[in-house]
């Protein structure tokens, strides 16, 4: 297994353990619903179908935006 890595997650330094290196695993670890997430990795939007194949590496810059619905019409 590899060493933990540091990434910038929504502007905050975050250390990932060696079992959380894919974008999908990180979203799962954060208890987020991947269907409600938009991800930008190093300035590029990542399609939800690519979350499993998007591997995070040291010094990556990741922005996760969660859509929340609510209210009345």
Q: What is the pLDDT of residue 20?
A: 78
In a domain, 73, yes or no: no
Overall domain count for the chain: 1
- Domain interval for residue 49: 5-66
Q: Answer whether residue 40 is part of any domain.
A: yes
Inside any domain, residue 30 = yes
pTM: 0.85
- Give residue 72's pLDDT: 65
> Who contacts 12 (Cβ-Cβ below 8 Å, separation ≥6)?
none
Q: What is the pLDDT of residues 1-59, one digit of tens each?
A: 578 999 999 999 999 987 778 999 999 999 999 999 999 999 999 999 999 999 999 99
pLDDT of residue 71: 56
- CATH number of the domain at 41, please: 3.10.20.30
């Amino acid at each position: 297994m590899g060493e933990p890595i540091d990434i910038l997650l929504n502007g905050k330094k975050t250390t990932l353990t060696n079992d959380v290196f894919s974008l999908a695993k990180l979203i799962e670890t954060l208890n987020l619903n991947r269907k409600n997430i938009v991800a930008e990795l190093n300035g590029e939007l990542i399609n939800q179908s690519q979350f499993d194949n998007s591997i995070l590496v040291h010094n990556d810059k990741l922005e996760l935006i969660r859509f929340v619905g609510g209210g009345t019409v």
